[in-house]
Amino acid sequence: MTYPTDRPATWFVTGTSRGLGLELVKELLRRGENVAATSRSLSELQKSLGGMDTSRLLELSVDLSDANEVNRAIQSTINHFGGLDVVVNNAGNGYLAAVEEVSDADARTMFDVQVFGVLNVVRAALPGFRAQRSGHIINVSSILGLLSFPGWSLYAAGKFALTAISESLAAEVSDYGITVNLVEPGYMRTDFLTVSLAQPSTTSDAYPAIRTMVDQHVNEIPGNQPGDPAKVAAAIIIVATTGDAPLHQFLGSDSIALAEGRLQTLAADLEASRQLALTTDFSA
């Protein structure tokens, strides 16, 4: 994608009422860009932007799991600003529970936003991007899109799915001048672990370590995360404006360290698998 330098770019950002999404909207408005911001709580977004120049802001209340609503939101953005340049799929919630504790309803709710919501936004934006032969899709994942931990299975499953979607999408649209990046931050100092962290309605005494982890994430980690959401927002803008970021853009010292550990584990598993793997081909 060629990022516009002769006019304000138009960004469509999901999940903007708090945390990283809110910081991204603030920084884009300070830069004078056009921003269409989706939120489940427009009043919260408006309150958080108090005192800022919002003349270049289009606020949209959108159910991301509803394809028709998403299509209307994308079209409203194009009609309002005269085009669309960058899409940032940022909306999502945390979920902490043992695999056995994850209900069908909770799993579907999580995937509605983290997977189907992203697919809806991508499908709505791509026809216009293809027609203009430019556009940028930035999917905000997590280091948990590369690895997982006990208790994080559902959240990580959504992010793993986002990794697969992004990798395939990047290859599919590159010939149309469209860029795709997957941003994978570590822990950021937001209210994600308090306001946005869901738990199952029914928990099991069989997993006391998960309960301990829940307590730690609610009581100890908030306020001690290494990642600065304002700096992560600035990094996302760099990813969009320079156009030379890798498909997997890790952000945060913890994200880098965990990714390096994951590579070492995979390398060890590859070598441990080799002898048996080579016995499963048809014989020559």
Under 8 Å CB-to-CB from 120, ≥6 apart: which residues?
Answer: 64, 65, 66, 67, 70, 71
Question: For residues 262 and 62, what is the distance between their CA atoms, to the nearest angstrom?
Answer: 36
- Catalytic, out of 17, 153, 159, 166: 159
Please indicate whether residue 159 is annotated as part of the active site: yes
Does the annotation mark 141 as catalytic?
yes
Q: Is there a catalytic annotation at residue 155? A: yes
- Catalytic residue (choose from 134, 141, 142, 166): 141
**Residue numbers annotated as active site:** 141, 155, 159
